[in-house]
Amino acid sequence: MGANLSSVFVDPNPLSRYGSLSSPSPTPYPTLEDLPESCVALILGYLDPPQICKLARLNRAFRGASWADFVWESKLPTNYDRLIQRVLGDDFPRKISKREIYTRLCRANTFDGGTKKVWLDKTTGGVCLSISSKGLAITGIDDRRYWNHIPTEESRFNSVAYVQQTWWFEVDTQFEFPFPGGTYSIFFRVHLGKAGKRFGRRICNTEHVHGWDIKPVRFQLWTSDGQHASSQCFLSDPGKWNLYHVGNFVVDNSNPSVNLKFSMTQIDCTHTKGGLCLDSVVILPCKVQG
């Protein structure tokens, strides 16, 4: 833009009646640096956070505008103050900019004794949540003949619940959380076989994987305002982490918080099943998945 403007205001012929034999003195022309920060901030308000951060490196005007509170206010969830209270508590500093709040919420913030993590999707600002296997109610989890918590780097929580063999498989939980308005999906993150490493390479022991192809696993979801979803499928793909979809639920902006209950069951006692790693439950906004 600056180059085009300079060609208009500078006479290209130094011998013309407006010139001389010496080089003409440069004529000032507007650049992006001359744009008022308030105007730049209005433009940035239409962009997503990664684009804003990239343009902040362009020049001083864009850098200053990228810190405007009203720009980041529109990127934060409408109920971000309740999210801060639920996840970060009263120790969170209040006198910080909206950009700093957005940055803090984009981290994987741990709460409820380390059993849950919540973060914002950096592009959409959607609230994502994960519940570890230790935050779920698992039937028989205290019986070490069948269940164990094993450490692994493949989990966001550094451990998973592993069932070697069981007749009665039932996992559920219930909790309340201030989700902002929108549509969300719930998934169980599951792995058939026990993953490990040998000589620095990933291996998977599928010795105890059995029973999941005989009867399907059933997934269910309930909300405090009467929503219900149900699905079932056979578990497959040993050696690979899979997200099994439980269902979707809708949050109205008028609700201060949502009470959720969901489960994963396979309680047909005609056969045993085993060799399964349960990592976590993941809740994602549908716009993030798209």
Q: How confident is the model at residue 94 (pLDDT cuts 50, 70, 90)?
A: confident
Residue 6 pLDDT greater than 80, yes or no: no
Residue 290 in this model has a pLDDT that exceeds 70: no
Does 130 score more than 90 pLDDT?
A: yes
Check whether 27 has a pLDDT greater than 60: no
| Segment of 29-33, 93-97, 234-238, 252-256 carrying the highest mean pLDDT | 234-238
DSSP string covering 149-163, please? EEE-TTSTTSEEEEE
148-178: per-residue pLDDT in tens? Answer: 999 999 999 999 999 999 999 999 999 999 9
> Which of the two residues, 137 and 29, has the higher pLDDT score?
137
Q: Does the pLDDT at position 46 exceed 60?
A: yes
How high is the pLDDT of residue 25? 52
**Is the model's pLDDT at 259 over the cut of 60?**
yes
What would the two tokens of residue 286 be?
A: 């549908």
Residues 174 and 188: their CA atoms lie apart, in Å, by 14
Q: Judge whether 265 and 138 are in contact, CB under 8 Å.
A: no
| Whole-angstrom distance, CA of residue 61 vs CA of residue 39 | 10
